A and B are shown apart, each in its own frame.
Chain A
């Protein structure tokens, strides 16, 4: 019994984190990204920072932990030091004052363009320095060019494609964010007055047309989906094996260059190509933020500074690593730094600036879209 007591006491004390530990809560669903983070943490060891990647299935769980921390008055000894967020999660944290900041004081922030609204507006919510841009994303279509010669690039083409090839497309189950983004993209395609999406959903009273049109479109589409729309992949990653085995012929992603990496790793066939909705596809920025009760804010700031440095951003943008587009402005860098970002052409990826970016709808649309979807199909 004494041994047991000893062990419990040992566990109790071992739980207090070391001063240079930075506990990084980030979505852990992608091997490519996990690899990038683990390599970064090796780098950071050189400046005495132990970056620990907690692979969360959905960052909303972390938001919940912080909310309960605040409720339980757990100030200053929180377990989370750094998080990777955007959109409605950021909005929730900002509104409830669960973030530490402003944190735009880090040295390498000077490479970020002050005038680029897409970096300073997160799903319609002003950032105000409470989070630091880390990378960009654009919604793209990944398809098998052996099977599809002319990929569908609008909502109506997608519908026609589905009807001609039943069972060959699907999208991740709501509320997975790729799935939700697909629905947002479809709304953009369906309606004429696109500016209404930039306003809160409360401005769209009573019979809210965009949602209504979306559900009608989906009701028409679902019978022609994979498994007749009775089963959905749980994540966009789950669609990659389906695409490689040609169960489905196209899928979606938020990373314009991810296909190259999949081909290189043998997860997708060489015939894989990337395109997107030709009238513009949803783009957003993802950010790094520090929770209000991080026990190690100083080191967290150092990690942020490291992650937005030109060298690391260039490494991140390289398709051999992650292929995530940079948030830094080329005009603010010197020529040597710019040189790092130049890369060879790759047939699997979506060329830069080929498809125009469109802004994410206001964050309040996300929950409304999800609720409508649940009501209609769950």
Chain B
């Protein structure tokens, strides 16, 4: 149906849609830009705090990024619902037996969406931000500025922040495109009537209503325009603030402790993650937990039992698929990087491909794949499904693998060669053992990325082939909260275990 995009775009109809969708676009832009700005701000302070004090703590962030979006959304919704945990705590003091009627409409939804999305993106930005700190030699800058007699905050605001922001362009771009194509946050936490365009997109995709089907063309264009607009706006704001800082050079002599802010943000973030986990866990083991009880009324393992009986095959299947795809992309990327140097065409194509996949909104990309599937009509849906999962694992494997190879000291290989070892042998005896920690991490990230893909099952296969992650989303709109929570927890177990293992091994690995 979306082949129509390639045929024509009726400007008149587009403008009409733009007018109809204006409130949706307003919501979407406001929510996403606010969430991104907040997450960058928070991430900066947490990064500085973590970098200054102890690097090893940052590896716990790896455990946090393994937390699936959908389970996080579900957890946040349990916290903030008008009969959720916070409302119950409030009723403890106020004494209301019945939750207050929720009459606040969009505004709370917008706030909760911004809260959820910004908190969820912070670990990702911090993890990359820490490596950027390494690269820009943050400690050196700080020492030099302080040697000149200025406070640490002066150095952070005037020198570190501009450099840091510049180096963070790609991850921020990834966050931007994610926020305009995600369906988990916008559908579970976002405002409705009007829905955000992310949700409208999926509605149109599934609709049998001719009007909505046609609207998809406009929505694709609007999504692209929104991403471009947000990128330009944020870039403009960044350059403006850098220009402003250069011109005015305000020097802060006060002893305001910027690390305190980072510490508070960090602790707050960790507690939100733990709280969502805790509430979800309690809900999964309760039979009933009616408002206003703070703790479950009756306990039962029915939710887990239901998940095990009904969803174990798809759960195991998802683990198998993710393992296979992550491994496959590791092997393919490894072969390419091992056999080409940076000047070769294949390497450049891979770079451009990975970059494009990361910065193109996922929903649009997947519609393209679905079109390709329908037009070519070769291979089964299963293979297209695997392919669409694979291309989203590829960029992560590629960039991490490239980083690993860049950091690898080739003197080891030269030494091995001089000792009479062939290239092939030295690959297995020297290189792979030496980068094994990184390889495990790359595999784990690939696994988690694949296991938590969501839109493939919705757009490419239209529900014919899905991952366990999709199943959790369906369960969430079901009647039983304990089943939904059990599913949501089960969803985070494999990646959590994998990353906890990496964390316990205690190797700080660069991402």
Contacts and interface: CB of A to CB of B under 8 A. Distances in A.
A and B touch in the complex (CB under 8 A): yes
Contacts of A374: 209, 211
Contacts of A58: 206
Main secondary structure of the interface of B (DSSP, over half): loop
Interface in B323-347: 324, 328
Given A230-B106, A246-B291, A8 B483 contact: no
Interface stretch (B150-158, B374-382, B490-498): B374-382
B477 interface: yes
A31 B478 contact: yes
Contacts of B382: 11, 15
A38 B310 contact: yes
Interface string A85-104: 00000000000000000000
Contacts of A12: 379-380, 383
B10 interface: no
B248 interface: no
B474 A28 contact: yes
Given A29-B478, A241-B479, A266-B298, A231 B379 contact: no
Contact of A247 (B83, B462, B483): B83
B99 to A, nearest CB: 5
A151 B28 CA distance: 39
Nearest to B208: A60
Interface centre among A4, A60, A378 (most CB of B within 10 A): A378
Contacts of A15: 380, 382
Interface stretch (B191-199, B263-271, B433-441): B191-199
A370 B212 CA distance: 12
A29 B99 CA distance: 27
B445 interface: no
Contact of A232 (B101, B192, B483): B192
Given A64-B208, A227-B105, A371-B211, A265 B302 contact: yes
Contacts of B478: 29-31, 235, 237-238
Given A60-B208, A370-B209, A377 B479 contact: no
A34 interface: yes
A238 B207 CA distance: 21
B161 to A, nearest CB: 38
A208 interface: no
Give the 6 A-B residue pairs with the shortest CB-CB distance, closest first. Answer: A167-B101, A245-B83, A266-B288, A266-B287, A240-B479, A230-B105
Given A31-B483, A245-B99, 15 more contacts: A12-B379, A29-B477, A31-B480, A38-B309, A60-B208, A61-B462, A167-B103, A234-B187, A238-B479, A241-B481, A244-B290, A245-B291, A266-B288, A266-B482, A267-B288
Interface of A: 4, 7-8, 11-12, 15, 28-31, 34-35, 38, 54-58, 60-61, 63-65, 68, 72, 79, 147, 165-168, 173, 175, 226-232, 234-235, 237-238, 240-242, 244-247, 262, 265-267, 269, 367, 370-371, 374, 377-378
15 contacts: A11-B383, A31-B479, A38-B310, A60-B206, A61-B206, A227-B102, A227-B103, A238-B477, A242-B83, A244-B290, A245-B290, A246-B98, A246-B99, A266-B286, A267-B481
